[in-house]
Structure 1
């Protein structure tokens, strides 16, 4: 299978990516860090096992594009425009609905401050669990 940078993702490839992305430990890893090359190397390796030949950069680019498109559609829906749609919206909604959302809160002095809240998540979050998953991921890659 061709794996050039300009090659479009097939529906099956996107479904495979969403399948790996939907795993709880992967979602946590992707949320917990900005330096995520190792995570995408792992995702690319998992996709290769499923017959999808994409490198980590292609996986990261597709992840970012899907996430951006999802947020654009979600914002439109929240603004009352239900005509905007995208393929895999419901799959992405199921994956991303547990992601923290940054909310702007107006302060007395007229400035805004950003606070993070989690949708559909318990208030007790164990940061050591995220660290353990991160360590596990890199021990798999080593």
Structure 2
């Protein structure tokens, strides 16, 4: 199989990637994970099921590029420049808008530069109902 490293992503391929990326379990796994090769292998497999032949490295590169472009446009909008835009902005906004800003800044700089204490998850289990309740705590 050819890697297609230089092959541009078609609009349909990007839509398929966004569709897989928007799934809750995928977002959850990608959020805060540094070693994510396994996730992108799974994403590439899912894309193949949808007729998109891309390997995990291509998926990861496209993910990073889309995320970077989204953050650039989002920052411009937050700074008052609403003229800056990108294709798929609204799709990406639906996926990424709830990520903590401190994590986005850390990823963008390639190192942890956050000054805030990272949030914590606590788990409470109800033995009666066997329901797991997660609560988000900010210190």
**What do the CA deviations read for 1:92-113 (whole angstroms, capped 9, x no partner)?**
0000012122189xxxxxxx96
Does structure 2 retain, via aligned residues, the 8 Å contact 1:101–1:117?
no
Partner of 1:125: 121
> Could you tell me the TM-score, scaled by structure 1's length?
0.73
| 1:13 CA drift (Å) | 0.2
| 1:115 CA drift (Å) | 1.6
CA distance in 1, matches of 2:6, 2:118: 37
SS of the counterpart of 1:125?
strand
> Could you tell me the TM-score, scaled by structure 2's length?
0.75
More helix by share: 1
- Stretches of structure 2 lacking an aligned partner (at least 5 in a row): 106-112, 124-139
Indicate the RMSD between aligned Cα atoms, in angstroms.
2.7
Query: Whose relative contact order is higher, 1 or 2, with alpha carbons under 8 Å and at least 6 apart?
Result: 1
Partner of 1:114: 115
CA distance in 1, matches of 2:114, 2:68: 23
2:37 matched to 1:37?
yes
Structure 1 runs (4+) deviating above 2 angstroms are: 124-127
